[in-house]
Amino acid sequence: MNTLRSVRPGTTATVVKLHGEGALKRRIMDMGITKGTSIFVRKVAPLGDPIEINVRNYELSLRKSDAEMIEIK
């Protein structure tokens, strides 16, 4: 399973599935990350946390733990 955490900067990926449950999954969906959404990984912080992405024409920073719950292709 490939997750958003493993994507290299400068790469575009498509969301296949959101893992997790409850409030955490709802928070990710509220940020605009849903099945079929295209995500561009802009950069990763020097220590790997957070990850800066572009989703639906806006910039967003995600923790590594949140990025692991987003399955991509």
Mean pLDDT (the chain, rounded) = 92
For 7-69, strand residue ranges (E) read 12-18, 38-44, 51-55, 58-62
CATH number of the 4-72 domain? 2.30.30.90
Give pLDDT, residue 15: 95
DSSP-derived secondary structure letter, 2? -
Find the mean pLDDT for residues 17-43: 93
Q: How many other β-carbons are positioned within 10 Å of the β-carbon of residue 67? A: 24
Rounded Cα gap, residues 7 and 27, in angstroms: 21
Give pLDDT, residue 47: 87
- pTM of this prediction? 0.87
